[in-house]
Amino acid sequence: MKFQLQLLATLSPLVFAQSESDSSSGVSGSLSSGYSSEYSTSDEESATVWVSDQSPLETGEVYEWSANWNPDIQIHQSCNRTQYVQLMSAWEETKELSEHARDHTSRFGNQSYIYRKYFGDAATAEVIGWFDNIVHQDKTTVLFRCDNPDGNCANEGWAGHWRGSNGSDETVICDLSYQTRRSLKQLCSLGYDVSTGQNAVFWSADFLHRLWHTDTVGQSSVDHYADTYDECLELANESPEEAVRNSASLRLYALEVYAYDITLPGQGCSGDSDDEDEPLIGSEDSEDNTQSTSTSEEQSVTEAVSEGASSSATSDIAESTTSEEEDEHDHSHTETDSETNAEATASATSSETASLRCHTHEGGETHCV
């Protein structure tokens, strides 16, 4: 078999070795990096073989895109063995919580009632991305430490803090965390529900909060646009583009879908009475429900028209009387509800504020979780 090699004059000589075993079937050989060779076979077929410019012969190593990729957090040497074990367990649960929030969103998209509840009509890509970032973003510089270098753990009620300008990828975990945090396995137990409980009581939700503060994971995009449950629901309606990067919205969503899908399948523990009659998926289930509702409404209208036609001669006085009574009732009922809701909200807010743990961010901003 005859080989024709065409090489540029400026390139080093090409060493080409042909084995006897392949002489009858084609071409074999080894090409130096960066060379292009053209060869032809007896059947007059030709091809060009390109070899990467980075050769072990030239650089001493082969490029590997995933080399030194570390998706896990780093634990500082100041943490003792028991602290290390607890922090790593918390990290594993954080990944588990994040993976499920990501997968629930990928599975149901914005057809999920829970998704729409926290993010409105926003596209799902950013939410999926933030949770995937928790799991897969390189965290070589993301450090959790136990030595209280800034002295903030001495402040009453501080369970930890982001170091800010002292270390934008560093988080300090104070002793209070080890005394008060719960495992994800305890979700929906001990009276906890998503709408009224402190999400930071769980290691995993607390870690989400702390990781999104770091430059590497939060990327100066995840922020505090709303903090309480009610504020997050309001944000979803008024500003979904902010809701998808609101730290509290993301944390509450992660806990609620985990509770609904994993902890208590099909039930969860939102604690919000408005959720009781809502189907999870707004496609087939919602469509069936809508059709059923429409049919019921049509029947009601038909019955009302029939009744109205049969009693039209005597209806004017009755309608006038009923209308006045309904207007008075609606006004009184609404006013009473408003007063009651205002009192309940004030009471709940006062109680919640008293039980929150607060700390100060860089720049003096006080934040309670």
pLDDT of residue 154 exceeding 80: yes
Q: Return the pLDDT at 361.
A: 54
Confidence check: pLDDT of 295 > 70: no
Cβ of 193: how many Cβ atoms within 10 Å?
17
User: Can you tell me the mean pLDDT for 44-71?
Assistant: 72
Mean pLDDT for 17-46 is 48
**Residue 44: per-residue pLDDT:** 57
Q: How confident is the model at residue 354 (pLDDT cuts 50, 70, 90)?
A: very low
pLDDT in tens, 240-270: 999 999 999 999 999 999 999 999 999 999 9
Confidence of residue 88 (pLDDT cuts 50, 70, 90): very high
Least confident of 206-220, 280-294, 344-358: 344-358
Domain assignments of the chain as residue spans, ordered by start: 1-56, 74-281
d(CA 227, CA 310): 56
- Greater confidence (296 vs 65) lies with 65
Q: What is the mean pLDDT of the chain?
A: 76
Given a contact cutoff of 8 angstroms between Cβ atoms, the answer to whether 172 and 210 are in contact is no
Please calculate the CA angle 83-87-91 and round it to the nearest 5 degrees. Answer: 170
Q: Examine the pLDDT at 316 and tell me if it is beyond 70.
A: no
Q: 88 with 75: CB under 8 angstroms?
A: yes
> How confident is the model at residue 330, as a pLDDT?
36
pLDDT of residue 261: 98
| Full DSSP string of 204-273 | HHHHHHHHHHSHHHHTTT-B-S--SHHHHHHHHHH-HHHHTTBHHHHHHHHHHHHIIIIISTTT-----G
Query: Quick one: angle between helices 125-136 and 247-258, nearest 10?
Result: 80
Can you give the pLDDT at residue 222?
A: 98
Range from 21-30, 194-203, 280-289 that averages highest in pLDDT: 194-203
pLDDT score for 274: 84
**56 vs 84 pLDDT, higher one:** 84
Contact criterion met (CB below 8 Å) for 207 and 142:
no
- Amino acid identity at 103: D
Which pLDDT score is estimated for 251?
A: 99
pLDDT in tens, 326-346: 333 333 333 333 333 333 433
> Residue 131: how many CB atoms within 10 A of its CB?
24
pLDDT at position 19, please? 46
Are the beta carbons of 167 and 156 closer than 8 angstroms?
A: no
Does the pTM surpass 0.75? The reply is no
Single-letter amino acid code for the residue at 327: D
**Within a 10 A sphere around the Cβ of 342, how many other Cβ atoms?**
10
Nearest to 201 by CA among 240, 238, 255: 255
Residue 310 to residues 303, 307, 320, Cα–Cα distance (Å)? 11, 5, 18
User: 277 pLDDT band (50/70/90 cuts)?
Assistant: confident
Q: Determine the angle formed by the axes of helices 81-108 and 203-213, rounding to 10 degrees.
A: 80
Question: What count of other Cβ atoms lies within 10 Å of the Cβ of residue 9?
Answer: 4
For the domain covering 74-281, report its CATH number: 3.40.390.10
Alpha helices in the chain (DSSP H): 56-59, 81-108, 113-119, 125-136, 175-180, 203-213, 215-218, 229-238, 240-243, 247-258, 284-310, 315-355
Pick 239 or 51 by higher pLDDT.
239
- pLDDT of the residue at 198: 96
- Does the pLDDT value for residue 174 go beyond 90? yes
Using 50, 70 and 90 to split pLDDT, how confident is the model at 50?
Answer: low
pLDDT band at 61 (very low <50, low <70, confident <90, very high): confident
Of the listed ranges 145-154, 227-236, 252-261, 275-284, the least confidently predicted one is 275-284
